[in-house]
Structure 1
Amino acid sequence: MSSPASGSGLMFRNPALAVVLIIVIGGLLRLVFGASLGLGIDESYMVASGRVLHLGYFDHPPASWWLTWGASRLFGSEAPLAVRLPFIVLFALSTWLIYRLTAALYDAAAGVAAALILNLVPVLGVTSGTWVLPDGPLCAALLGAALCLVHALEARRPASYGWWLMTGLLSGLALFSKYTAGAVIAGAVIYLATSSRHRRWLLRPEPYLAALVALAVFSPVLVWNAGNGWASLAFQGGRAAAARLNLLGPVRTLAGEALYVLPWIWLPLVIVAARATLRGPSEWRGWLLVCLGLPLVVVFPVIALWSNRQILFHWAAPGYLMLIPLLAEAVARRLVAGNRLTRLWLRGTVVFVVAVVIAFSMLVRFNPLPSLWTKEGPLRQLAYDGTDWTGLPAALGGIGLPPGPDMLAAGVNWRDCGKIDYGLGGRTPFICLSQDARQFGFRGPGPADYLGRDVVIVLRAGDLGRLAVLARNFKSLEDRGTIRFPVNGATDIDLHVFIGHDLLAWP
């Protein structure tokens, strides 16, 4: 008779090769997925507004912006796959890192399970692993920092200095990717303060040297903020501002997070985290993962109790990332024991995620059901938001306004501005005529440099109500009619075009 372990196949016979196969197959699926979809709203905005390098940016720290800027210049293109490629490569690295982290805490079989589960969580394995978002470099840096921290905690001098310095470097890179890394770093401090096994490190210099390294890596962001009225930190901090009590806010937030993680993965994650929390510091591996992951998982439902800002469900994803090794250890243990339900759960999730990704990619790429895109609803909204407006230059040329360096173009909200500016390809000067211009308000010449210019203003139908406000900023507005161009080969987008003559003032 074969042992349970031998019946579990490659996962246990050759763990490293199993992870390599997960990376290769997952990477190929992400390449197909990344090539099938145009850039989303956030992606278009980041690519377009990030064409000028800065030490900091309004929405997030620089890592993802710099990656996008570098990729577009390396490949000589802003095509979706070109700018997404660094994020696909980084997720391959994240897959290997979570394998090594989990193997260091538990064993290689659990490491393989962690690599597979990571790839199956949609908010991590699909969006963060493919799209132009700060979460891609954030996840890779956090996993690298956690792996180094595990080695640092058990290291002896002089090797301990190297592990702690690498922990600080990668923690700094995580902060350089997204501010929410601070919650995970705070969790590491909580662990050191509560762990009898590792509390001694607080009396040694290595953790404080690591903190200085992290601060040094993050310092360009502080320099940029200091020179720009602390705009980015104030914007992100303002999301937690109190407005009114909302008892359903936490429920909605947790339900959304469960949907993004997949409910049948989210619930086991919560269960293993609860068990590790109840065991407390006595089982240091589980307690470390709980300390790293739970602060970020808990903070957003708590903020949702009072915040009047929308809590986006993917914000807590790095917290769940830190809990995956806990679930992976439990899954691997059950697989070794020959648990058929666990094997069915894992295989069913693989089939479900792969099938949905392939079907969605084919639906968008080859458009076999065009009627779905012509009806009002989520798919039509995706046609607007998830497709590139590359037909915009030709449509403008058709009404005698060919884009070029002599034209000054504009939109009236940051979401459409990203689409418009990306569609124009960076060959036309562009401004965002909005009080909420986000990074568009920081990337180039100031408002005074454009006063007196004529501006080609592109509007969606829903923004026509802003014309009365826009009219105050120009001597006159000239209606140049409506332009139409296809998106996704199934539906058309209609945009209204005006020329604002003689810009008098900024909105």
Structure 2
Amino acid sequence: MYRKKLWYLIVVATLVRLLAAMLLELGNDEVYYYTYALHLQPNYFDHPPAVAFLVRAFTFNLHFLQEVFVRLGAIVFAALGTWLSFYIGKAIKNERTGWYAAVLYTASLYSSLIAGTFILPDSPQAVCWLIALYYMLQIVQDGIAGHKSSLALWIQVGLFNGLCIMCKVHGVFLWGGFGLYALIYNRRIFAVPGFYLSILLTALIISPILLWNVQNNFVTWTYHSERVEVQQLMLDKDSFIQTIFGQFFYNNPVNVVLIVITLLYLRRNMLLQRDVKILLLCCGLPIIAVVSVLSLFRSVLPHWSGPGFMTLCFIAASYLDRRAERLQEKLPLFLRGGLVFLLVVVVGGTCLIRFYPGTIGDKEAEASYGEGDFTLDLYGWRNFSVDFRDWFVQQEREKQLNAGIPIVCNKWFPAAHLEYYVGRHIQSPVIGIGELNDLHHYAWLNTWRPGLQKGADALCIVPSNYPLHPVDTYKTTFESVILLHSFAEKRNGRISRYFYVYRLKGFKGAEYTL
């Protein structure tokens, strides 16, 4: 009975994600990860390479580049994550627990939308995390039953933990959780040869990250350490409040409340086998705690802790199973509320992005019109792409601009949007000119593209929601800056932002690559 419900859930949720993927344009991070796929590497400035391979695979080696294909890997993996959640829940208790776990996974904005519709490193990481967790639970359950876990099982743990880290370095928390469980509650694991073979296999799988960083002055380490390093013990209450609220929202307030109730219930009641419960807590709580504590001192991203909440949902599912025995609920109120919340966010968010008249951002100055409007990252680029292409073709006919003229940008955003929505349509390379911490992957893309020759011209396209003063920015690299054209882009009949196109004349030959 529950398996049939599971497949209905997967099909309906997948259709909703596909619809959202087609209606919404790619966001800042998504177009940036699209640039990863343009040139595959063993590691990247910001993250390991799994998301790049996912984009390559589901765009069929970059042959189908519509937004839905760029996101297709995330959508397929979200369906797989739902299926895995069912089988993990079934393994730790029963099919009803598995069904509840699958619904909780679907109701979470993190697993169903952020990682399940948008293409991010979290998209493959969520699935690898769940597979590795499933095999670790099998090892724990073997121990409870007094059985010796097979070497193949340990290999699978090492394999998928390694792949999880190759998606996103946060995957180390999964090994850390397993190690914490073994250290505190089950030290017999340290006497098992398979444990060390598993660690060795993980180390071999993630070795490309280390080798690439050795070749590139450990830029990934430097970048991420700056993001999490606490430089001074001064409380940042705004960051903490934003992070706590973000975690509450991203993981679905209904899910989070249910998790909290379950953790309180666990203090006096047994829901699962002790070792299973402890392993889930050790794999779920640390990443949530670390992100929350870091937010006291510096800005962090709330979705970093998503895998932790995803793990704790299995304990919450077992709590719902216990309640169902007593209340005989077909679908608990918590689950119905969670799904309603998800649907409201998806429908409401899509309508806001596509139909809000004008902008919710700055309206005071034309040069910064729309600044602060997050919805513009997901809207308006398609229209601008068409308008710009028509204008550019006319400029070519009139011999005002040459085909293939480079587009320069000083930051990875909006460079990646320009790459996806503008540059690829007019066969113009996007070249980054600026600091490494601003360019990110563009510092490497520059090395694989024809460089700007001294005296050459280029275009600079500035969206008003990311205001820039090209004269000040490029005065050391170009002889002059000339405004060629401005585009007023509208949403639902009102201006949402402007795009300014500048001609940068006479490249001075300044260094701009690695």
- With normalisation by structure 2, the TM-score equals 0.87
Q: Is 1:123 paired with 2:110? A: yes
Q: Which runs of 5+ in 2 are unaligned?
A: 364-369
Q: Distance in 1 between matches of 2:448 and 2:358?
A: 45
Q: Which residue does 1:439 correspond to in 2?
A: 441
How do 1:480-499 residues align onto structure 2 when only pairs under 5 Å count? Answer: 480-485=484-489, 491=495, 493-499=497-503
CA contact (8 A) 1:50 1:443 kept: no
Match of 1:6 in 2: none
Following superposition, the deviation at residue 101 of structure 1 comes to 1.2
Amino acid corresponding to residue 278 of structure 2 in structure 1: W
Q: Deviations over 1:243-262 (max 9, x none)?
A: 33115243432222112222
Are the equivalent residues in 2 in contact too, given 1:47–1:65 (CA < 8 A)? yes
Q: Which residue of 1 aligns with 2:367?
A: none
Match of 2:85 among 98, 101, 105: 98
In 1: Cα distance, 2:353 partner to 2:452 partner: 39
Please list the CA deviations of residues 107-135 of structure 1 after superposition, one character each: whole Å capped at 9, or x if unmatched.
11111000001100112212211111011
Aligned mates of 1:150, 1:240 — CA distance in 2:
30
Question: How far does the alpha carbon of each residue in 1:368-426 deviate from its partner, in whole angstroms, 9 at most, with x for none?
Answer: x6467799579954134444343333344455589886311112221111111111253
Give the share of equivalent positions with the same residue, in percent.
Answer: 23
Q: 1:337-376 maps to which residues of 2 (within 5 A)?
A: 337-338=326-327, 343-361=332-350, 364=353, 367=355, 370=357
Number of the residue aligned with 2:457? 454
Q: Secondary structure at the match of 2:469?
A: helix
Q: How does 1:385-464 map to 2 (within 5 A)?
A: 385-389=378-382, 390-391=385-386, 392-400=388-396, 406-426=404-424, 427-435=427-435, 436-445=438-447, 449-452=451-454, 453-461=456-464, 462-464=466-468
Q: Does 1:209 align with 2:175?
A: no
2:337 corresponds to which letter in structure 1? Answer: G
For residue 172 of structure 2, what is the aligned residue in structure 1?
182
User: 1:491 deviation in Å?
Assistant: 4.1
**Conserved? CA contact 2:353–2:378, under 8 Å:** no
**What's 1:28 paired with?**
15
CA contact (8 A) 1:75 1:82 kept: no
What is the DSSP-based 3-state SS (H/G/I as helix, E as strand, rest coil) of the residue aligned with 1:457?
Answer: strand
User: Residue in 2 aligned with 1:228?
Assistant: 216
Match of 2:294 in 1: 303
Distance 2:217 2:112 in 1: 36
Deviations 1:170-220 (A, max 9, x none): 101100000111122211110111124xx2121011011111111122122
Q: Per-residue displacement from partner, 1:119-172 (whole Å, max 9, x unpaired)?
A: 001122122111110111011000000101111233487752111101111101
Residue deviations 1:318-362 (CA, integer Å, cap 9, x gap): 111111100011012212321669823322332332244234445
Match of residue 237, structure 1, among 203, 206, 225: 225
Determine which of 476, 480, 488 is the counterpart of 1:476.
480
- 8 Å CA contact 1:395–1:485 kept in 2: the answer is no
| Superposition deviation, residue 498 in structure 1 | 2.0
For 1:289 and 1:295, the matched residues in 2 are separated by 11
Q: 1:487 to 1:132 in 2, by over 3 A?
A: farther
Aligned to 2:283, which of 268, 292, 304? Answer: 292
Per the TM alignment, residue 502 of structure 1 is displaced from its structure 2 partner at its CA by 3.0
Change beyond 3 A, Cα 1:413–1:352: same
* 2-structure distance, mates of 1:299, 1:108: 33
1:323 maps to which of 312, 329, 335: 312
Contact 1:144 1:170 in 2 (8 A): yes
Q: Distance in 2 between matches of 1:215 and 1:405?
A: 47
In the superposition, relative to structure 1, how do residues 447 and 458 fare at CA in structure 2: closer, same or farther (>3 Å)?
same
2-structure distance, mates of 1:358, 1:487: 18
SS of 1:65 mapped into structure 2:
helix
Instruction: Give the 3 Å change call, closer, same or farther, for CA 183–66 of structure 1 in structure 2.
Output: same
Q: Which amino acid aligns with 1:432?
A: G
Return the offset for 1:468: 1.4
- Pair 1:139 & 2:126 matched: yes
Q: Distance in 1 between matches of 2:498 and 2:236?
A: 40
1:36-89 C-alpha deviation (Å, 9 max, x unpaired): 101011111111353111111111110111111232334722111011111111
- Structure 1, residues 258-286: CA drift from partner, whole Å, max 9, x if none? 12222232122134245557889982111
With 449-458 and 105-114 compared, the bigger mean Cα shift is at: 449-458
Specify which of 376, 389, 403 is matched with residue 383 of structure 1: 376
Which stretch shifts more, 92-101 or 453-462? 453-462
Q: Distance in 1 between matches of 2:371 and 2:250?
A: 17
User: How many Å apart are 1:469 and its aligned residue?
Assistant: 3.3
User: Relative contact order (alpha carbons < 8 A, sep ≥ 6): 1 or 2 greater?
Assistant: 1
The answer for unaligned runs of 5 or more in structure 1 is 1-13
Give yes or no for contact 1:188–1:288 (8 Å, CA) kept in 2.
yes
Quick check: 2:483–2:502 contact (8 Å CA) kept in 1? yes
Q: 1:47 to 1:404 in 2, by over 3 A?
A: farther
- Tell me which residue corresponds to 1:38: 25
Q: Is the 8 A contact 2:411 2:439 kept in 1?
A: yes
Aligned residues: 488
Could you tell me which residue of structure 1 aligns to residue 302 of structure 2?
313
Tell me how far 1:301 sits from its aligned partner: 1.4
**Which of residues 159, 178, 187 is equivalent to 1:169?**
159
CA distance in 2, matches of 1:203, 1:332: 36
**Preserved contact between residue 132 and residue 160 of structure 2 (Cα < 8 Å):** yes
Offset of residue 226 of structure 1 = 1.4
In the alignment, what sits opposite 2:366?
Answer: none
SS in 2 for 1:450: coil
Partners of 1:336 and 1:475 lie apart in 2 by 76
Q: What SS does structure 2 have at the residue aligned with 1:60?
A: coil
Q: Identify the residue that residue 9 of structure 1 maps to in structure 2.
A: none
Q: Does structure 1 residue 283 correspond to structure 2 residue 281?
A: no
Q: Which region of structure 1 is more displaced relative to structure 2, 110-119 or 482-491?
A: 482-491
Q: Equivalents in 1 of 2:402, 2:37: separation in Å?
A: 19
Whole-Å Cα distance in 1 between the matches of residues 54 and 85 of structure 2? Answer: 22
Moved more, 210-219 or 278-287: 278-287
2:510 is aligned with 1:501 = no
Per-residue deviation at 1:497? 2.0
CA RMSD of aligned residues (A): 3.0
* Residue 90 to residue 182, structure 1, CA distance change in 2 (3 Å): same
